[in-house]
């Protein structure tokens, strides 16, 4: 059975430092980044290990160093030998105390799921100041032999089970091109690449490894509105089978922490228009009932309400299915009471790393003869923010919202087939290549359920727009 990262690195401790700290290629890239930073910069080392060589070099150069690692033993060693603030934390849930000038994630992205790799790169971008620097240390899939691993077509990576430092591990390897694409999609420009071979300084682990270091600089100010570059325009209006959509939404799960996040956005609003009917799914029936909520199951160009009736309008996952985005938003703004200090327009769409959208757009959309599938969510939100700004709602903020579709109740052997049909019926029912699409979905769904048994991630983005004068 594969060893998880926390167990693995707690056991390795100082041995890992001895094997990997003396890497000329890593030292050269670290020195390059140091030459770009002003003294006293805030720098985060993700997967800091014992703190050497990266955190130690940063601290010696006079920077404020923060380090996180999932292994408590590593954090203790780092804190004992490097000046800085070191914490046991998971990069997937951690939030840094300040905006960073640089983030290093060196050899720490092998043992999380492909969607989480994408997600944390976007998180790194959010943690960085504008013009901040990101350093990734990885290994390209080209370093694997033909017998190693299975290609995952959704994320363009290779999944492997192998032995590393005498322990069985489950690891991911993206191609060089895939890594560059992930960075660009999160709004980085590539400044430097270094690929080199390295033999660990360890008597029991002497296998030649190919290391790939990438330095990117944050270019786009709003990474959650990716993936970048944005397309020139929409592929066309998407279509959704509302009956199948309702069935899928019955599996939606929102943690209490995420409910609190959304509740904090809406807590002062008493009169709310819920377009799409998802408010009760996100907040729970009781919380939604405590507000004066009126619900429209779908978007309408003409909202049959008087002017300024609501404090807030929330529209969830419906921008894909609107012909006239400007006309719709004009109506939304009309029914908001802009004189209220609580006036808000809240739009919720898919995150750039949403597993469901990535799955459908990769496996089904190319085979479709009539449906564009889920649209580019970042383009929709970019377009909406520009239109809302023209209408006086120019103050916008973005918040990630983590939800999932839970399927714990179904443990049958054909679960992946059932889920393939459920997802496919939302966007691609009645397609000429329906059976081919369904078969192509089964293996990627099995991969997703391996990554996190019982559920598929459905990450979203909340865009909150406030009137300019508020």
Whole-number pLDDT of residue 301: 77
Is pLDDT of 299 > 80? Answer: no
Is pLDDT of 416 > 80? Answer: yes
Q: Could you tell me the strand order of the sheet in which 167-174 lies?
A: 150-152, 157-164, 167-174
Whole-number pLDDT of residue 228: 97
Is pLDDT of 382 > 70? Answer: yes
Residues in the chain: 470
Same domain, 72 and 152: yes
Q: How far apart are CA 370 and CA 227, in angstroms?
A: 24
| Domain range for 15 | 5-221
- Mean pLDDT to the nearest integer, 367-386: 91
Does 366 fall in a domain? yes
Stronger pLDDT, 268 or 393, i.e. the higher one = 393
User: What band does 269 get if pLDDT is binned at 50, 70 and 90?
Assistant: low
- Mean pLDDT to the nearest integer, 293-301: 81
User: In this structure, are residues 468 and 396 in contact, taking their beta carbons and an 8 Å threshold?
Assistant: no
pLDDT in tens, 17-36: 889 988 999 999 999 999 99
**Which of 79-83, 154-158, 165-169, 284-288 has the least mean pLDDT?**
284-288
User: What band does 261 get if pLDDT is binned at 50, 70 and 90?
Assistant: confident
- Mean pLDDT to the nearest integer, 359-374: 89
Q: How far apart are CA 175 and CA 258, in angstroms?
A: 33
Q: How far apart are CA 47 and CA 156, in angstroms?
A: 24
Same domain, 62 and 94: yes
C-beta atoms surrounding 469 within 10 Å:
10
- Mean pLDDT to the nearest integer, 257-281: 80
Same domain, 217 and 286: no
Is pLDDT of 185 > 90? Answer: yes
Does 212 fall in a domain? yes
User: What band does 286 get if pLDDT is binned at 50, 70 and 90?
Assistant: low
Whole-number pLDDT of residue 159: 93
SS3 308: coil
Does 83 fall in a domain? yes
Stronger pLDDT, 27 or 300, i.e. the higher one = 27
User: What band does 373 get if pLDDT is binned at 50, 70 and 90?
Assistant: confident
The CATH number linked to 445 is: 3.40.50.150
Whole-number pLDDT of residue 288: 52
Where does residue 324 rank: exposed (0-12), middle (13-18), buried (19+ CB within 10 A)? exposed
Share of the chain above pLDDT 90, in %: 71
Same domain, 165 and 314: no
Is pLDDT of 43 > 70? Answer: yes
pLDDT in tens, 140-163: 998 887 667 899 999 999 999 888
Whole-number pLDDT of residue 386: 97
Same domain, 81 and 20: yes
SS3 307: coil
User: In this structure, are residues 224 and 148 in contact, taking their beta carbons and an 8 Å threshold?
Assistant: no
Whole-number pLDDT of residue 410: 57
Same domain, 21 and 63: yes
How many domains does the chain contain in total? 2
Whole-number pLDDT of residue 163: 87
Does 204 fall in a domain? yes
Is pLDDT of 431 > 80? Answer: yes
- Mean pLDDT to the nearest integer, 100-129: 97
Same domain, 194 and 279: no
Describe the chain by its helix, strand, coil percentages, rounded to 5. 35, 25, 35
User: What band does 267 get if pLDDT is binned at 50, 70 and 90?
Assistant: low
As a whole number, the mean pLDDT across the chain is 91
Same domain, 168 and 263: no
Whole-number pLDDT of residue 411: 59
Q: How far apart are CA 8 and CA 3, in angstroms?
A: 6
Q: How far apart are CA 467 and CA 469, in angstroms?
A: 6
């Amino acid at each position: 059975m594969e060893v998880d990262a926390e167990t693995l690195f707690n056991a390795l401790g100082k041995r890992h430092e001895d094997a990997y700290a003396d890497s000329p290629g890593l030292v050269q890239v670290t020195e390059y980044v140091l030459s770009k930073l002003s003294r006293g910069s805030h720098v985060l080392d993700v997967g800091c290990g014992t703190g050497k060589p990266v955190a130690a070099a940063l601290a010696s150069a006079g920077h404020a160093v923060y380090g996180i690692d999932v292994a408590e033993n590593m954090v203790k060693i780092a804190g004992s030998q490097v000046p800085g603030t070191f914490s046991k934390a998971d990069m997937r849930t951690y939030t840094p105390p300040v905006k960073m000038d640089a983030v290093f994630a060196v050899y720490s992205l092998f043992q999380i799921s492909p969607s989480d790799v994408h997600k944390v790169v976007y998180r790194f971008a959010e943690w960085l100041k504008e013009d901040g620097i990101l350093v990734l240390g990885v290994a390209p899939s080209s370093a694997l032999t033909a017998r190693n691993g299975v290609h995952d077509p959704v994320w363009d990576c290779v999944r492997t089970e192998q032995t590393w430092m005498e322990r069985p591990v489950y690891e991911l390897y993206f191609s060089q091109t895939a890594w560059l694409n992930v960075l660009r999609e999160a709004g980085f420009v590539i400044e430097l690449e270094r690929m080199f071979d390295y033999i660990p300084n360890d008597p029991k682990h002497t296998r030649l490894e190919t290391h790939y270091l990438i330095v990117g600089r944050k270019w786009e100010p709003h990474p959650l509105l990716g993936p970048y570059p944005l397309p020139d325009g929409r592929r066309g209006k998407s279509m959704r089978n509302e009956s199948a959509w309702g069935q899928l939404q019955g599996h939606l799960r929102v943690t209490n922490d995420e409910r609190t996040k959304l509740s904090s956005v809406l807590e002062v609003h008493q009169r709310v228009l819920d377009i799409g009917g998802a408010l009760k799914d996100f907040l729970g029936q009781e919380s939604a009932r405590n507000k004066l909520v009126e619900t429209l199951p779908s978007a309408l160009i003409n909202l049959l309400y008087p002017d300024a009736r609501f404090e807030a309008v929330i529209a969830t996952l419906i921008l894909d299915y609107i012909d006239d985005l400007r006309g719709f938003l004009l109506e939304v703004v009309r029914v908001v009471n802009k004189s209220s200090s609580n006036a808000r327009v809240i739009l919720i769409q898919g995150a750039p790393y949403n597993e469901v959208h990535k799955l459908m757009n990769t496996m089904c959309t190319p085979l479709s003869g009539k449906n564009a599938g889920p649209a580019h969510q970042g383009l929709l939100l970019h377009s909406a923010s520009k239109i809302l700004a023209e209408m006086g709602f120019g103050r916008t903020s973005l918040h990630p919202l983590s939800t999932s579709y839970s399927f714990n109740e179904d443990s049958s052997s054909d679960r992946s087939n059932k889920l393939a049909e459920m997802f496919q019926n939302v966007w691609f029912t009645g397609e000429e290549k329906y059976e081919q699409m369904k078969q192509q979905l089964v293996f990627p769904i099995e991969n997703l359920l391996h990554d996190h048994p019982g559920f598929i991630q459905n990450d979203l983005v909340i865009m909150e727009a406030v009137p300019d004068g508020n």
